[in-house]
Amino acid sequence: MITLKEALTLSSDELEAFKNELRKKIEENSEINAYIDVKSVGEGVPIAIKDNIQVKDWAVTSASKILQGYIAPYNATVIEKLKSAGLTPFGRTNMDEFAMGSTTQSSCYGKTLNPCNKDCVPGGSSGGSAAAVAAGLAIAALGSDTGGSIRQPAAFCGIVGMKPTYGRVSRYGLGAYASSLDQIGPMTQNVEDAAILYDIISGYDTKDSTSADIKTESVADKLNASRKLNIAVLPKYVQNASDDIKKAYAKAIEALKSAGHNIIEKDLMDPKYDISAYYITATAEATTNLARYDGIRYGHRVEGSNLQETYIKSRSEGFGDEVKRRIMLGNFVLSSGYYDAYYVKAQKVRHLIKDEYEAVFKEVDLILSPIAPSVAPKFGELKKPMDMYLSDIYSISVNLAGLPAISLPVDKNAEGMPVGLQLIAKAFDEQTLFDGALSLEKEFCTILPI
């Protein structure tokens, strides 16, 4: 598959021919179920779009039954930015319903398969975007990351996934899951493409009140893999990971050393606290955001005899089990008797996590961390919802602290499954993040699965 950098040099005739080839290939690989729908608007380099990003006149459903029939009346800011840079949205990719999940199994369109091993999950919630890029069915894709949903599927499928600093990329037109955590980001074949796509979609936006009003400098034209950086490694923190991950982690440390970086041992608090703080915060925000799907103004319409019945029926029929579970949990942690015990406490833990990262970043430029505790599990391996929540131990603290991070493939296990790790940087220091990632990628040479 051509890279984004190469695609940007093609003529419009070459791009049209390429898109026809792509359509054929997607059709031939329909079993993977990476795309919900393949459409293209206008000319330009085709970019696959997660089904929770508004593209004007497209059906956009967050892979939920409750949004069937909804047509986006406007473009998300990231889509406007793609278009002005000569790119074009091409196809809606599959995802967990409302981005809630780590496996892409909770989509109302059925599961997506991992192109590296079809018995394995592609990760989630941006599993469709990751599978599309990994299977050569997209040059690059956009995903969204609330607690790992770009970085973890990227790692499971052997591609690069980057979550920008909170506030760096406009959320205008992104279907909200947990508004204080959500960020849109690039999913690509290599680090340089991720930097190119990040440059295109980032920047201050008056339409998003949480957008950061600071200057965003381009990073791709300044990429420098030879900078020598101070990088923190976390020997104790990785103990909760599988042997595959530990092995890849040790190899990555050696690679960083041989590239001339200075390695410093650090530790972070037990990630079990991240899980509690995240699942309380995320579900509290989700329950509030999802209140708008009422079947009355919009949502899955089921006529009842009165408004209350319409509301109850449309929500009970329109939402899947995982979404309902989170709506209930979110209401519980926000209810008057439990608000202080759960929600307020989770916000305090969130502050501790942020402070802890800030303390580490006083001494280092980057942190090397696992992104998931194992390689992609097989379908059915994560049996209970709690097993899935616990598989997020390494991804969610980055969102709670609002930091930028990039996941890239560094190894393959004995079965040939990709192993990804992440680098984490200070807030708004994306340049250092990409420089470090490029240097790591150079040591390993990106391992693309197909």
Q: What HEC string does 97-161 produce?
A: HHHCCCCCCCCCCCCCCCCCCCCECCCCCCHHHHHHHHCCCCCCEEEEECCCCCHHHHHHHCCEE
Instruction: Please tell me whether residue 186 binds ligand GLN under the rule CB under 6 A.
Output: no
Exactly one of 64, 107, 125, 395 is catalytic; name it.
125
Output helix, strand, coil percentages for the chain, rounded to the nearest 5.
40, 15, 45
50 carries an active-site annotation:
yes
Two tokens, residue 439: 């240097």
Question: Measured from the CB of residue 288, what is the shortest distance to ligand GLN in angstroms?
Answer: 15
Exactly one of 149, 202, 391, 407 is catalytic; name it.
149
Q: Which stretch binds ligand GLN (CB under 6 A): 54-62, 100-108, 187-195, 205-213?
A: 100-108
Residue 22 DSSP SS3? helix
125 carries an active-site annotation:
yes
Whose CA is closest to 178, among 48, 299, 350, 60? 350
Instruction: Please tell me whether residue 51 binds ligand GLN under the rule CB under 6 A.
Output: no
Instruction: Please tell me whether residue 100 binds ligand GLN under the rule CB under 6 A.
Output: yes
Instruction: Please tell me whether residue 418 binds ligand GLN under the rule CB under 6 A.
Output: no
174 phi/psi in degrees, rounded to 5? -95, 130
Q: Which is nearer to ligand GLN, 46 or 147 (CB)?
A: 147
Question: Measured from the CB of residue 425, what is the shortest distance to ligand GLN in angstroms?
Answer: 19
Two tokens, residue 240: 């909760």
Element (DSSP H or E) covering residue 320: none
Whose CA is closest to 164, among 118, 134, 198? 198
Instruction: Please tell me whether residue 99 binds ligand GLN under the rule CB under 6 A.
Output: yes
Q: Which stretch binds ligand GLN (CB under 6 A): 7-15, 143-151, 207-215, 216-224?
A: 143-151
**Locus of tokens 């800030």:** 358
Instruction: Please tell me whether residue 185 binds ligand GLN under the rule CB under 6 A.
Output: no
x/- map, 392-411, ligand GLN, by CB under 6 A: x-------------------
Residue in 89, 91, 148, 330 binding ligand GLN, rule: CB under 6 A: 148
Question: Measured from the CB of residue 177, what is the shortest distance to ligand GLN in angstroms?
Answer: 6
Can the peptide bond before residue 242 be classed as cis, meaning omega within 30 degrees of 0?
A: no
Side chain identity, residue 385: P
Q: In what order do the strands lie in the sheet with 35-40?
A: 35-40, 87-93, 45-50, 141-145, 183-188, 160-163, 405-412, 418-425, 366-370, 230-233, 262-265
Name which of residues 264 to 303 contact ligand GLN (CB under 6 A): 282
Name which of residues 107 to 126 contact ligand GLN (CB under 6 A): 125
Instruction: Please tell me whether residue 427 binds ligand GLN under the rule CB under 6 A.
Output: no
Query: H helices of 50-106, where?
Result: 77-84
Q: Which stretch binds ligand GLN (CB under 6 A): 4-12, 84-92, 140-148, 372-380?
A: 140-148
Q: Are 432 and 361 in contact (CB under 8 A)?
A: no
144 carries an active-site annotation:
no
Instruction: Please tell me whether residue 136 binds ligand GLN under the rule CB under 6 A.
Output: no
Q: Which is nearer to ligand GLN, 80 or 392 (CB)?
A: 392
Question: Measured from the CB of residue 27, what is the shortest distance to ligand GLN in angstroms?
Answer: 28
Residue in 145, 193, 365, 435 binding ligand GLN, rule: CB under 6 A: 145
Q: Which stretch binds ligand GLN (CB under 6 A): 41-49, 93-101, 379-387, 435-443?
A: 93-101
Instruction: Please tell me whether residue 432 binds ligand GLN under the rule CB under 6 A.
Output: no
Measure the CA–CA gap between 26 and 170, rounded to whole angstroms.
Answer: 29
Q: Which is nearer to ligand GLN, 88 or 112 (CB)?
A: 112
Residue in 123, 128, 147, 161 binding ligand GLN, rule: CB under 6 A: 147
Rounded to 5°, the CA angle 11-189-47 comes to: 50
Exactly one of 50, 83, 111, 163 is catalytic; name it.
50
Whose CA is closest to 171, among 54, 41, 288, 45? 54
Question: Measured from the CB of residue 369, what is the shortest distance to ligand GLN in angstroms?
Answer: 16
Measure the CA–CA gap between 149 and 127, rounded to whole angstroms.
Answer: 8
Question: Measured from the CB of residue 155, what is the shortest distance to ligand GLN in angstroms?
Answer: 13
x/- map, 374-393, ligand GLN, by CB under 6 A: ------------------x-
87-93 and 35-40 as β-strands: parallel, antiparallel, unpaired?
Answer: antiparallel
Q: Which is nearer to ligand GLN, 354 or 442 (CB)?
A: 354
**DSSP 8-state symbol, 70:** -
Tell me which residues touch ligand GLN (CB under 6 A). Answer: 99-102, 125, 145-149, 177, 282, 392
Catalytic residues: 50, 125, 149
